[in-house]
């Protein structure tokens, strides 16, 4: 047996799931994973080893230590894009799009964004969220540009928002902070304010006044893939790409977004029917028959409420589900086409490419790089 690799894990932003992913890879490849600094975060003065796996933040001490060590290093964050390191990180643009798609599918027309801190992660998520909303004619109100941590100021902004309003936040912590302000201001969740965060931290999401919906991203996989990238670097491999983005796994829907935001009861019923039958080959005629109204009446009221046709809305929802499946699973393209209501795989592929500029196979390959 060869010498065991000595790897230092020094996470500036510690996360247990990322640690678990790193530890899983370390166990499979007989690494000695040095986690001795976790207790008091005192960086070792004369550390010697084979590689470092880190998540850089704005600590100058950590930055100087990592650069001074002069060993193969992989960063599990994008906070310090100014430092040229190989990285494995969450696909924050995909997280932003997923939040927007969730609110669009629920019928929200008033949407906002909030983050207690403004940094590269929050900026990327916000921009993708805003752009996805804009693509269907929805403006995004940004709540965090002035006095982001001023409770009185943000409470008044919440009261002034058109209702119902859907707010996507940078993290579950931010959602919990807003949820408390809503509770104190007498705003109902999700009736007045729908809240969606990210991280899917059950310790936060399940213990609020109203349980919080959250986007799931795979920190365990980020840790594992980061360790695998570090192993390749130590072996002298030249990386094809120095940035690997890990797509989100979906949304855990809890009470804070568990309501359709449409005043028209006919359209609320239509949306519920569409969501329940997304995988079936249905169209406007079947939906109208189910609801006991004429196709023309349904089309007019749907467009008035949703600012799109039923067909456009249905395709958008199917494509969003297909993209999620392509990112997080290994089902064949034909299976995904069938499970998302497309009549066949070629039709699915043509529709997907027309919308995203890539075939489903190309999109999946891009997620895997």
Domains, the chain, ranges and CATH? 6-90+219-249 (3.40.50.2300), 92-216+251-257 (3.40.50.2300), 265-357 (1.10.10.60)
Q: Kindly state the tokens that stand for 206.
A: 């399940």
- pLDDT, position 129: 98
- pLDDT, position 308: 83
Does the pTM exceed 0.85?
no
Are the beta carbons of 109 and 79 closer than 8 angstroms?
A: no
- pLDDT, position 243: 93
The terminus-to-terminus CA distance of the chain in angstroms comes to: 31
**pLDDT beneath 70, residues of the chain:** 1-2, 36-42, 367-369
Task: Single out the residue of 358, 324, 368 nearest to residue 97, CA to CA.
Answer: 324
For the stretch 48-80, pLDDT in tens is 899 999 999 888 888 888 888 889 999 999 988
- 3-state DSSP assignment of residue 325: helix
- pLDDT, position 39: 53
- pLDDT, position 369: 55
C-alpha pair distances (Å), 59 with each of 55, 66, 70, 79, 222: 11, 11, 18, 11, 21
- pLDDT, position 41: 60
- pLDDT, position 44: 73
- pLDDT, position 335: 92
What span, in angstroms and rounded, lies between the C-alpha atoms of 242 and 219?
A: 18
Task: Single out the residue of 280, 283, 284 nearest to residue 338, CA to CA.
Answer: 280
């Amino acid at each position: 047996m060869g010498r065991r690799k000595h790897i230092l894990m020094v996470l500036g932003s510690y996360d247990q799931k990322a640690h678990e992913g790193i530890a899983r890879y370390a166990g499979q490849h007989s690494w000695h994973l040095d986690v001795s600094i976790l207790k008091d975060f005192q960086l070792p003065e004369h550390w010697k080893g084979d590689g470092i796996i880190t998540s850089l933040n704005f600590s100058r001490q950590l930055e100087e230590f990592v650069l001074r060590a002069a060993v193969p290093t992989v960063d599990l964050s994008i906070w310090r894009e100014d430092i040229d390191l190989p990285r494995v990180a969450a696909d924050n643009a995909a997280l932003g799009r997923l939040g927007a798609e969730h609110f669009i599918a629920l019928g929200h027309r008033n949407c906002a964004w909030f983050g207690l801190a403004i940094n590269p992660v929050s900026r990327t998520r916000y921009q993708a969220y805003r752009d996805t909303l804009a693509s269907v004619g929805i403006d995004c109100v940004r709540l965090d540009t002035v006095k982001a941590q001023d409770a009185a100021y943000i409470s008044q902004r919440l009261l002034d928002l058109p209702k119902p309003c859907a707010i996507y936040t940078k993290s579950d912590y931010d959602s919990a902070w807003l949820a408390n302000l809503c509770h104190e201001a007498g705003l109902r969740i999700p009736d007045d304010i729908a809240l969606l965060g990210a991280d899917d931290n059950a310790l936060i999401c399940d213990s609020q006044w109203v349980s919080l919906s959250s986007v799931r991203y795979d920190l365990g996989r980020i840790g594992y893939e980061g360790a695998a990238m570090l192993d390749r670097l130590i072996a002298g491999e030249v990386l094809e790409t120095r940035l690997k983005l890990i797509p989100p796994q979906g949304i855990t829907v809890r009470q804070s977004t568990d309501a359709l935001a449409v005043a028209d009861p006919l359209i609320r019923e239509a949306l519920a029917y569409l969501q329940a039958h997304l995988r079936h080959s249905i169209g406007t005629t079947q939906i109208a028959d189910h609801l006991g109204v004429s196709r023309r009446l349904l089309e007019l009221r749907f467009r008035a409420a949703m600012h799109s046709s039923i067909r456009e809305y249905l395709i958008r929802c199917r494509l969003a589900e297909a993209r999620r499946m392509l990112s997080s699973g290994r089902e064949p393209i034909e299976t995904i086409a069938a499970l998302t209501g497309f009549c066949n795989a070629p039709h699915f592929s043509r529709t997907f490419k027309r919308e995203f500029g890539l075939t489903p196979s190309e999109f999946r390959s891009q997620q895997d790089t």
